[in-house]
Chains A and B, each alone.
Chain A
Amino acid sequence: MNIDWAALASVFGVSLVITVALVGLFTLGITGLAKQTATAQGGGGGVLARTGAYACFALCAAAVAYGIFLIVV
């Protein structure tokens, strides 16, 4: 019996890091947009917040695209 602990550990590590990173990024994106909407209503600019949010979403989209790539290939 040959248990591949290294593979299991890497699955654990990779899953943990990627999940937390993606959820974190996405949360930053949507909270950024929500705050930006609020400041815009108050008359402020918030271009930076909006750009940051879109950057977060772009990274998430890239991760999804990579996921599809992994499934297809």
Chain B
Amino acid sequence: MEHITLLLAIVVVTALVFDFTNGFHDTANAMATTISTGALKPKTAVAMSAVLNLVGAFLSVEVAKTISGGIINENGLRTEVIFAALVGAILWNLLTWLVGLPSSSSHALFGGLIGAAVMSAGWSSINGGTVVTKVLLPAIAAPLVAGVAALLATKLTYRLNRKITDEAQLKSTAKGYRAGQIASAGLVSLAHGTNDAQKTMGIITLALVTGGVLAPGSNPPVWVIASAGIAIALGTYLGGWRIIRTMGSGLTDLRPPQGFAAQTSAATVILASSHLGFSLSTTQSCSGAVMGAGLGRKGGVVRWSTATRMFVAWGLTLPAAGLVGAGAEFLTKQGPWGVAVVAVLLVAGSGAIWLLSRRKPVDHTNVNATGDEPAGVVTTASRPSARRPPV
């Protein structure tokens, strides 16, 4: 009995760690463009996003009842499997953060779950069709939908404001665009808190159910809701500056009208998709919107080398997190010592990635400087304040 409670405690802590990595991995979705166009100062942006994530976590009572969305069979799931899945997802999130690539935290979680479930119960525990409809197809659709919407919106806004040439008027419209962008980014943050914090709540609740602490079908206890909300808010406030840099200024150069169009497209796609029954990844929608907005401005350029690396990361998310999840599950199957080994490996792996990241730190002071990125075609203004308003 004592062994079960210790295992449960480990799973709960690991789930909160995943929630935390989810927060700082996804700050970029809401705030990257806001920071790169200078609508908000970096620290202000992450603080605002963190608060909205926290609020979002408490907003909705409709908790993700099936966290895996039908991809794996949740009945008879062992607590260790959840632990192994979380380990895979956390390590993949940290690795993509290290290389500064935006990738879907949900897909990492799905990957970890799939890998761990296959190792635990064989391929029959996976619903292959659901993997295609819930992960693969949305991964292609999200950037296309958001990208096309942002592209057209950017073209439209440049067409409508083409008569604005006066310096004072340009300043006034740029200010307006930034204000609009803040509103869109706020919506994305709020939606993120509601969706992703609830995923963690669902996982912890599921773990408590599989561990026999809660009755099946229970709602998450208040401490679960509160701790999940706080973990994601803290992660968001810490800011995944590496990913923010890639999304805000690495993929393309965004000016205020483009930033506004991109963020509005992302917010619309996220809300529309989750309410029309075809869920699309927040990260992939935002990345697509940024690229669409980049292409929408005359003379705008998408750095396809960075975009390609990002696409590769998306393709690898599921198998990579799955492999780690499977490996972790293989160890936890061996008994309590296996769980201990996995926990030690997780801490060691996270520590190693963190140490690697310190060699070339990216934080709020240099988030907009695209120093090591081969710019290729366009010249990059290093600070948003130095950028000229749109012409």
Q: Do A and B come from one complex?
A: yes
Q: Which residues of A contact B (CB under 8 A)?
A: 1-4, 7-8, 10-12, 14-16, 18-20, 22-24, 26-31, 33-35, 37-38, 60, 64, 67-68, 70-72
A34-B172 contact in complex given A24-B157, A27-B157, C-beta closer than 8 Å: yes
What chain B residues lie within 8 Å of A30 (beta carbons)? Answer: 161, 172-173, 176-177, 180
A19 touches B153 (CB 8 A): yes
* Chain B interface main SS type: helix
What chain A residues lie within 8 Å of B356 (beta carbons)? Answer: none
- In the complex, which residues 129-149 of chain B have their Cβ closer than 8 Å to any Cβ of chain A? 129, 132-133, 137, 141, 145-146, 148-149
B271 touches A71 (CB 8 A): yes
- In the complex, which residues 370-389 of chain B have their Cβ closer than 8 Å to any Cβ of chain A? none
What chain B residues lie within 8 Å of A68 (beta carbons)? Answer: 187, 190
CA distance A2 to B137 in the complex (A): 12
B277 to chain A, nearest CB (A): 5
Given contacts A4-B278, A23-B264, A34-B172, 4 further A-B contacts (CB under 8 A): A23-B260, A26-B264, A60-B183, A72-B59
CA distance A58 to B297 in the complex (A): 27
- Subset of 17 A-B contacts with CB under 8 Å: A1-B128, A11-B272, A12-B141, A15-B269, A15-B273, A18-B272, A19-B268, A20-B156, A23-B156, A23-B264, A24-B156, A27-B161, A34-B169, A34-B176, A35-B163, A38-B168, A67-B271
CA distance A33 to B156 in the complex (A): 18
Per-position contact with A for B174-212: 1 when CB-CB < 8 Å, else 0? 001100100100010011001000000000000000000
A37 touches B271 (CB 8 A): no
CA distance A70 to B276 in the complex (A): 11
What chain B residues lie within 8 Å of A10 (beta carbons)? Answer: 276, 278
A33 touches B176 (CB 8 A): yes
What chain A residues lie within 8 Å of B156 (beta carbons)? Answer: 20, 23-24, 27
A34-B173 contact in complex given A11-B273, A24-B157, A71-B59, C-beta closer than 8 Å: yes
What chain B residues lie within 8 Å of A18 (beta carbons)? Answer: 268, 272
Closest B residue to A41 by beta carbon equals B168
What chain A residues lie within 8 Å of B141 (beta carbons)? Answer: 8, 11-12
What chain B residues lie within 8 Å of A1 (beta carbons)? Answer: 128-129, 132-133
B273 touches A31 (CB 8 A): no
Indicate whether B160 reaches chain A with its CB closer than 8 angstroms: yes
Closest B residue to A67 by beta carbon equals B187
What chain B residues lie within 8 Å of A35 (beta carbons)? Answer: 163-164, 169
CA distance A12 to B278 in the complex (A): 10
Indicate whether B342 reaches chain A with its CB closer than 8 angstroms: no
